[in-house]
Amino acid sequence: MLRSIADAHPFTNEAGKVIAELFGNATTGHLELSLALITLPPQTANHPERNEFIEVLIPVEGQGFISVDGSVTEISSGLCELVPPNATFIVSNNSADRSFVYWSFCVPGFRPQLSNRVVQ
């Protein structure tokens, strides 16, 4: 199945992330995996999450920071980060003027009931 980013229907979540899913339950009915292009605008961060699946972040533009169970790492193109199931993580973009764009690959695929917001 060939898909293009033009096939995606991006939406913006409450944290300001723009999410364009190419493969997954919401777009192609795949439960076993999902692939989405995420754009995190300048000076934003996602809410702390604890997912019940593996998530791999693959940056393509800009740079950001990822905190996994309190350990913070700078991440940019050429690097990738695997977030294990049940780890608490936050992705942030501290840039004043540049978006942080990355692919998010999840196994099994992203589903809201498997993604839990962590109240701090």
Where does 1-120 show beta strands of DSSP type E? 11-12, 18-23, 34-40, 44-45, 49-51, 54-61, 63-68, 71-76, 81-83, 88-93, 100-107, 115-117
Residue 2 buriedness (CB in 10 A; 0-12 / 13-18 / 19+): exposed
Number of domains in the chain: 1
CB atoms within 10 A of CB 87: 17
Q: What is the per-residue pLDDT for 15?
A: 82
Where residue 101 sits, what CATH number does that domain have?
2.60.120.10
Structural domain span for residue 36: 5-117
Average pLDDT (9-34) is 91
Q: What is the per-residue pLDDT for 7?
A: 82
**Side chain identity at residue 66, one-letter code:** I
Question: pLDDT-based confidence at 120, cuts 50/70/90?
Answer: low
Q: What is the per-residue pLDDT for 6?
A: 87
